[in-house]
């Protein structure tokens, strides 16, 4: 029996949550905002996993370093 062709589903592009909220500064004291971007050990998760753009990933890095 021949296999039927299946539709390839395109993956939905992740949108940066900071760009959506038009954040121009990420405060290091706002832990609930930083928490989803950190793993169990306190390391910053990669952009690929969180969907954050490069500009806000750099701001996130400096905020975590300050905290």
> What is residue 5's predicted lDDT score, i.e. its pLDDT?
59
Buried-exposed string 44-64: b where 16+ CB fall within 10 A, e elsewhere: beebeebebeeebbebbeebb
If phi > 0 it is left, if psi is from -120 to 50 it is alpha, else beta; for residue 27 that is beta
Q: What is the DSSP letter of 42?
A: S
* Residue pointed to by tokens 């959506």: 20
> Where do the structural domains in the chain lie, given as residue ranges?
17-66
> What is residue 7's predicted lDDT score, i.e. its pLDDT?
62
Q: How far apart are CA 42 and CA 28, in angstroms?
A: 13
CATH code, residues 17-66? 4.10.640.10
Block means of pLDDT (10 residues each) for the chain, 67 residues, are: 64 83 89 91 90 92 91
> What is residue 8's predicted lDDT score, i.e. its pLDDT?
66
> What is residue 61's predicted lDDT score, i.e. its pLDDT?
93
**Which residues lie across from 38 on neighbouring strands?**
44
Q: Give the predicted TM-score (pTM) of the model.
A: 0.73
């Amino acid at each position: 029996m021949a296999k039927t062709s299946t539709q390839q589903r395109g993956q939905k592009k992740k949108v940066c949550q900071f760009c959506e909220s038009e954040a121009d500064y990420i405060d290091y004291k706002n832990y609930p905002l930083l928490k989803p971007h950190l793993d169990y050990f306190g390391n910053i998760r990669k952009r690929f996993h969180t969907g954050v753009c490069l500009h806000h990933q750099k701001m996130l890095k400096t905020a975590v370093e300050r905290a």
